[in-house]
Structure 1
Amino acid sequence: MKTILLFTAFLLITTGCFAKTITGKVTGPDSDEVIGVTITIKGSSVFTSTNFDGDYSIEAAPEDILVFSYTGYDSQEILVGNQMVINIQLTSSSLDAVIVTGYRNYNKQNSSKASSTNTTRPNTNAIQRLSGQTAGIRIQNANGQPGTNSTIQIRGAASINSRKKPLVVINGKTMTEKELKNLNPSDISGITVLKDASATAIYGNRGTNGVILIDTEKDIKLNEAEIVMHQIRDLFENESYKNIAENEFEQVGTSPLSTFSIDVDKASYSNVRRMINNGQTVAPDAVKVEEMINYFNYDYDQPTGDHPFAVHTAVSKTPWNKETQLVKIGLQGKDINKDDLPASHLTFLIDVSGSMSNQNKLPLLKSAFKILVEQLREQDKVSIVVYAGAAGIVLEPTSGADKETIINSLENLDAGGSTAGGQGIELAYKVAQENFIKNGNNRVILATDGDFNIGASSDQAMEKLIEEKRKSGVFLSVLGMGYGNYKDSKLETLADKGNGNHAYIDNIQEAHKVFGKEFNGSLYTIAKDVKLQVEFNPKNVLAYRLIGYENRLLDTEDFVDDTKDAGELGIGHTVTALYEIIPTGKDSKHLKELTDLKYTNTSFSKDFNNELFTVKLRYKKPDGEKSMLMEFVQNNKTSRADDNMQFAAAVAMFGMQLRNSSYYNETTLEDVVQLAKKGKGKDKNGYRAEFIRLVESYRDYNKDIRFYSGQ
């Protein structure tokens, strides 16, 4: 009997240690399901996320602690214990910020360090100085004898990364083990080892195997400044962006019309965010102000008529220039219930070349596509085409109901080889056309870093190729991934010329935004070739400049030319354009003196004294070839800036500062923060709070630069 009792007790104790399936639902403050919440087992790399219905499932032991985190909400930690179902209701963050991993912080007390040392002791070389000094770091000699070649390991021999070497950084500059070995140990004043997620958050993929930070006695303040100046600069030298020549003021007397294509691309904001998170100097041409503005949703009223979108205009004071006024023109796409959407055939075109092997490329890409697959219905179909040295079909058209098959096909992908991007595009469009759904949604989704190096690869060759494929009626979405050799210019060209949109996926939360919260708008087009033309009234406007859209400008005659390509608008999408205008009678240093015209009459009509400008729009239905016209008049009156106007202006101000614009008028990052806080509004998803946190971090980052450089 005693034996039976002991055995029963043993079973009760041991079974409590076994993992079990925990399920549950995550809701927000209003009890709405929240998609994309990250659920992590504390202290491990095991995680999952909630699906479209807010449900999740994860294997965990009773002693495990589940951490629930999501942008804009307070994190929650729950001990599993005997629970099998754990439902969580998130609460809005009590701080005016959200969790954004990776902001560079030079206060070493806050750097998530595993351990550090200032202890001095004699060693043969600097590598041996590390041995036995910090927990979790292992120095192994080739033959076990002192003085022989050494291998540094972080995380432990049993780790999946145990065979890989950590990143070594001395005074902010990367160095090899050989250089480290030649460093005089007596010059070392401190050693810090980063082992957790902070290593990759701060140093990107290079920190996957841990980071060893070394400070030396000499010029330590200067070296701290070099942390800012040299931080992972070598990783970004091979990125490419189209040159942007900032729009200048145009005088209405000679140029009353402003014409451009709308832009719903949002890649620039998440790419800039990535640069700031990584401590990288932001490349001015990577900053597309219109894409930064349009990353955020604005609370415009839904359309009520037959047109698929509504137009909203407003005029207020310019926050960075008291002599000018700010014009906002907003488009709001019609929302359509998911069940009412047409059937889709989506062709995933996935770059599996060697350049995609990094953790923030193909592995992140797989996670992003899994989120998309979760949204699919039975009537939707997916095909998968891959390319490296050549292109091939991985998955024939498969119903969205067979999610397991689609996800397994994604999981089996590995990276390696060169990059035949042009061949991949040819095959993907061939698959899309052979499985074309009439009156349906037919789209190729290209995911790549854009580093094409076999066959057609130049921006011009890509443009010619994609313009030809556009005639098939298949739309295009382009996902940019990773960094180091990221080719933004090429991907922008593909999206612009392929009746498509362009997003940059820098983390799993961005994947949830694109394929979760904005699924309909990202993949379903309600209007194509949308062009906007504004005619300013010279009676009330002396000059104007369009903020951003430099790569989207059209000639005046292009507005009525239905053969001219323009931008696409998705379900529920908003598009916002800002103009800065100089009222008639005002003077400005930005205006150039014009030559008097001898033959042209520049007098203006007196019949429209109360009008400021007229907005004209042309668009086509997704399957149409003839455009339709919309027209709106804005009266000459200003109003108090609402939340949308203030927040859009704050984002524009930040973009101008990053670009070192001629027009930001010496405003500061603190000005951006204060204006964004005024325009934060309800911010249901926390994206505006994230922007505020981003700017605050960038502001503090720049303070560190000035401090360490003695400015």
Structure 2
Amino acid sequence: MKPEQLTAWALNELSHEEKAQIESLLKEDNDVQAQAAQTKTFCDFLSTELGDDSLEFTPEQRERLWSADEPSAVNASKPSASAPAKQTSFWRRHALVNLAAAAAVVVGTTVLLRRETEETVQRENILLTGKLTESKKQPSKDQDGSLLSRAAPVPPAEPVASLPTPSVQKPDERRDVGHVSPGAYANADVIAEAPMDRERAESPARQQAKEVPVQTPAPAKPAAPRGNITAVGRLTLDTSNGYTGNTTMTAEAAATTYSGAIVGMKGPSVSLPEPGVVGDSFDYYEVPPHSNESYTQIVENALKDVMREPLSTFSIDVDTASYANVRRFLNQNTAPPRDAVRIEELINYFPTTEEGPAPGAKEPFAVEVEMAACPWQPQHRLARIAIKGRQISQDRQSSNLVFLVDVSGSMGDPNKLPLVKQSLRMLTEQLGENDRVSMVTYAGGTQVVLSPTSGQNKAEIMAAIDRLQSGGGTHGSAGIRLAYEQAVAGFIKGGVNRVILCSDGDFNVGISSPEELETYITEKARSGVFLSLLGYGTGNLKDRTMETLADKGNGNYAYIDSLSEARKVLVEQMNGTLVTIAKDVKIQVEFNPAVIRSYRLIGYENRLLAKEDFNDDTKDAGEIGAGHSVTALYELVPANLPPGADPRPMVDDLKYQQPAAAPAAPSAVIADTAESGEALTVKLRYKAPEGSVSSLIEVPLRDDKRGLETASDEFKFTTAVAGFGMLLRQSSYSGQLTWEQVRQLALEGKGTDAFGYRGEFLQLIEKARGVSR
């Protein structure tokens, strides 16, 4: 297709048949289609800018124009007062003008788009890596192998500055440096950018600018959005002030180096590029705080027919990362991504007041089951299964701990490595003479920065922690290997042997895929060395990888967003974090079809097991730490619910065939179970921390028709947290649930709240209600 044809189409100067032909050709070529869309945008802009009515000719001017151009035909060509004027396109009357305009548009569009594309790619790379110098030293390759341009952008002329900027989107969630994932996010940190052209930097004018103060220009008008990166203002380099570049500082500190209003900044800090020259001006941007974060997709559990699927089997989960992560988003007045909301982790964040096993009990934990009305579907029932682990004395067994710390360049933010160091100091304060600590770091390479040291020698451990600095790549797999080698070398039989990994989960060197990592971690977990993961930071959190490693490493995963959360995980719940009292804990629930028609497990979507896995001791499952509480909820549809009363039938009636007959249970069995009144039986299997054969626990439950108002405080609070997660996830099963119901249930079930976690949850409900609007 010729450029002239594309331009004529964009200017709407083709006949109906010609236009249809062009559009038919556009559908066959995506590249030409994209070029056509850009040309159309440019032409629309020109039409808008040049279509001012004030520029139209007056009748006198039009008459003089006709007289000057065609003196011999003025009377013939002027519109008659008595006849309607025949509108003839200016472009059609003047073919040369048409061709010249078309050529100008095509050439201008090509130059501008190329310039914008180069500028966009460079800015995205700088913004997401925070290192302008690296992007200059070597070109990066996109996923298709093509080189990404790193040429410094040339500032466009003033009229061009207001042109609409083409959107650049990179949809792949797991992408190389410089890619931005789609989605509308807010409340981001501000990233400052100062691109430098090498030739201009060495010019005499640039050298003079270093010596002579330059008057600060006024902040420019923010540019149009570019994908998910939005320019919000302009800054000017005022004085170097000893600034060395590639750091993060507060807005106040940035003001001493850069002048210009920081417009629309919502984050706590400004990330600044390398030093420039006095007088340099550049745009700064809002960047999505989790533009490069990844989460495992969650497909919500559906209702299951008891007659067809009487068994529900899953692995327990003691991770709490999702709650702290959701809190981070809500504290930024931002709705969390749906896949970041794992309801079971929200529920299990809160320690329960229920008692553990009695002293001398054979089992390492106690099991309680309760049933009451469902608040979002009043005709349904809710069953709550609660497990409470045995507490251990302060004189716990000896421990062999390896701190594995990510010190790569991505960990340089204040909420990453600095917070890691504070967290590890807290944990160090809890150690004693029976504890040994070693520390491994990884970035571009790996290093043992602390050989095995007694927990009594806190000064030496603290000094090693204080020396940690970030920089380089992220060779996570090599760090994990070295940490396990240290743990195995110092293995304490019958003690606590654990690697504690502190990272944002971005492993971009060596083994980096979840599949490879989980295979390696699973093999190492069999040695008796377990794994705890502490996730840090925003914008680059690889939640999916961290969750995978914790599941396969017989450990737990917590997200640390603050010092208070570090204290909860590493001080208040230290024994639960470090000491495992049971492993491979599985739950299987059998439902009585005489009492329950259908059921739905709320949460645990990533923990489901096949019914055959329950008795298979080779299948891996979750671990319970000392004093840990684990809770699960089932939504139940009673068997005696009148036909048509269930507001959500599982499957519509078939139109073209009769449905397969449901498997019928022996009538005698149904009669006996109906008479017993048992609605379900909860079965648990678990192994001792060093065992290989599982033990079984069974707990039946009768439905006593209890209403929600007479349910226990723990039942009400658990239901409130589950409803909170369902509303955040916009669950299709939330029914009549409202934020006010969630708040009231949480208030009624709050209880003594010794640590204040439940009071904080009440505040989060109000924030979630606000962002949901």
Shared fold per TM-score greater than 0.5: yes
User: How far did residue 513 of structure 1 move?
Assistant: 0.3
1:589 has 2:637 as partner:
no
Query: Residues 573-612 of structure 1: matches in 2 within 5 Å?
Result: 573-586=628-641, 587-593=645-651, 596-597=659-660, 600-603=663-666, 605=669, 606-609=671-674, 610-612=677-679
| Cα distance in 1, alignment partners of residues 262 and 473 from structure 2 | 37
Q: Is the 8 A contact 2:186 2:334 kept in 1?
A: no
Higher relative contact order (CA 8 A, sep 6+): 1
User: How far did residue 674 of structure 1 move?
Assistant: 1.8
User: How far did residue 675 of structure 1 move?
Assistant: 1.6
Q: Is the 8 A contact 2:420 2:502 kept in 1?
A: yes
CA deviations over 1:320-350 (Å, ceiling 9, x no partner): 11011111000000011111x1100001111
Which residue of structure 2 lines up, in the alignment, with residue 617 of structure 1? 684
Corresponding pairs, count:
521
Pairing partner for 2:439 from 384, 389, 396: 384
Which residue of structure 2 lines up, in the alignment, with residue 367 of structure 1? 422
User: How far did residue 300 of structure 1 move?
Assistant: 1.1
Which residue of structure 2 lines up, in the alignment, with residue 32 of structure 1? none
Q: Is the 8 A contact 1:353 1:415 kept in 2?
A: yes
Q: Which amino acid aligns with 2:372?
A: S
Which residue of structure 2 lines up, in the alignment, with residue 680 of structure 1? 750
| Cα distance in 2, alignment partners of residues 600 and 699 from structure 1 | 44
- Between structures 1 and 2, the one with greater helix share: 2
CA deviations over 1:455-506 (Å, ceiling 9, x no partner): 1001111111111111111011011110111000001000001100000000
| Cα distance in 1, alignment partners of residues 740 and 286 from structure 2 | 27
Which residue of structure 2 lines up, in the alignment, with residue 124 of structure 1? none
Normalised by the length of structure 2, the TM-score is 0.64
| Cα distance in 2, alignment partners of residues 163 and 471 from structure 1 | 42
Q: Is the 8 A contact 1:349 1:445 kept in 2?
A: yes
CA deviations over 1:633-667 (Å, ceiling 9, x no partner): 11121332211111111111110111111111152
Which residue of structure 1 lines up, in the alignment, with residue 334 of structure 2? 280
User: How far did residue 319 of structure 1 move?
Assistant: 1.3
1:463 has 2:512 as partner:
no
Which residue of structure 2 lines up, in the alignment, with residue 505 of structure 1? 560
Q: Which amino acid aligns with 1:601?
A: A
Which residue of structure 2 lines up, in the alignment, with residue 320 of structure 1? 376
User: How far did residue 671 of structure 1 move?
Assistant: 2.3
1:309 has 2:374 as partner:
no
Q: 1:647 to 1:105 in 2, by over 3 A?
A: farther
Which residue of structure 1 lines up, in the alignment, with residue 108 of structure 2? none
1:245 has 2:310 as partner:
no
| Cα distance in 2, alignment partners of residues 232 and 675 from structure 1 | 38
Q: Is the 8 A contact 1:152 1:165 kept in 2?
A: no
Query: Residues 203-602 of structure 1: matches in 2 within 5 Å?
Result: 203-206=267-270, 234-304=288-358, 305-339=361-395, 341-586=396-641, 587-593=645-651, 596-597=659-660, 600-602=663-665
User: How far did residue 678 of structure 1 move?
Assistant: 1.2
Q: Which amino acid aligns with 1:655?
A: G
| Cα distance in 2, alignment partners of residues 105 and 459 from structure 1 | 28
CA deviations over 1:147-180 (Å, ceiling 9, x no partner): 57996699x9799999967669xxxxxxxx99x9
User: How far did residue 668 of structure 1 move?
Assistant: 2.5
Q: Which amino acid aligns with 1:390?
A: G
| Cα distance in 1, alignment partners of residues 249 and 553 from structure 2 | 42
Q: Which amino acid aligns with 1:565?
A: D
Q: 1:206 to 1:632 in 2, by over 3 A?
A: farther
CA deviations over 1:408-466 (Å, ceiling 9, x no partner): 10110000011111111111111100100011110000110000001100111111111
Q: Which amino acid aligns with 1:237?
A: S
Query: Residues 54-93 of structure 1: matches in 2 within 5 Å?
Result: none
User: How far did residue 699 of structure 1 move?
Assistant: 2.2
| Cα distance in 2, alignment partners of residues 163 and 494 from structure 1 | 31
| Cα distance in 1, alignment partners of residues 754 and 245 from structure 2 | 39
Q: 1:142 to 1:662 in 2, by over 3 A?
A: farther
User: How far did residue 520 of structure 1 move?
Assistant: 0.6
Q: 1:162 to 1:291 in 2, by over 3 A?
A: closer
| Cα distance in 2, alignment partners of residues 442 and 496 from structure 1 | 17
Q: 1:619 to 1:162 in 2, by over 3 A?
A: closer
Q: Is the 8 A contact 2:250 2:269 kept in 1?
A: no
Q: Which amino acid aligns with 2:289?
A: L
User: How far did residue 192 of structure 1 move?
Assistant: 8.2
CA deviations over 1:566-609 (Å, ceiling 9, x no partner): 00000000000000000112242323248654594344522222
Which residue of structure 1 lines up, in the alignment, with residue 143 of structure 2? none
Q: 1:193 to 1:624 in 2, by over 3 A?
A: same
| Cα distance in 2, alignment partners of residues 584 and 233 from structure 1 | 52
User: How far did residue 686 of structure 1 move?
Assistant: 0.5
Q: Is the 8 A contact 1:316 1:326 kept in 2?
A: yes
| Cα distance in 2, alignment partners of residues 533 and 636 from structure 1 | 18
1:631 has 2:698 as partner:
yes
Match of 1:446, SS state, is strand
Which residue of structure 1 lines up, in the alignment, with residue 194 of structure 2? none
User: How far did residue 552 of structure 1 move?
Assistant: 0.2
Runs (5+) with no aligned partner, structure 1: 1-103, 107-139, 169-176, 182-190, 210-230, 704-711
Which residue of structure 1 lines up, in the alignment, with residue 215 of structure 2? 146
User: How far did residue 621 of structure 1 move?
Assistant: 0.3
Q: 1:157 to 1:620 in 2, by over 3 A?
A: same
Q: 1:356 to 1:627 in 2, by over 3 A?
A: same
Runs (5+) with no aligned partner, structure 2: 1-184, 188-208, 220-234, 274-284
| Cα distance in 2, alignment partners of residues 627 and 591 from structure 1 | 38
User: How far did residue 392 of structure 1 move?
Assistant: 1.3
User: How far did residue 204 of structure 1 move?
Assistant: 4.5
1:643 has 2:713 as partner:
yes
Which residue of structure 1 lines up, in the alignment, with residue 739 of structure 2? 669
| Cα distance in 2, alignment partners of residues 599 and 693 from structure 1 | 47
Computed over aligned residues only, the root mean square deviation of the Cα atoms, in angstroms, reads 3.0
% identical aligned pairs: 46
Q: Is the 8 A contact 1:350 1:386 kept in 2?
A: yes
User: How far did residue 232 of structure 1 move?
Assistant: 5.5
| Cα distance in 1, alignment partners of residues 726 and 766 from structure 2 | 16
| Cα distance in 1, alignment partners of residues 477 and 246 from structure 2 | 38
Q: 1:562 to 1:208 in 2, by over 3 A?
A: farther
Which residue of structure 2 lines up, in the alignment, with residue 699 of structure 1? 769
Match of 1:236, SS state, is coil
| Cα distance in 1, alignment partners of residues 532 and 290 from structure 2 | 24
User: How far did residue 145 of structure 1 move?
Assistant: 3.7
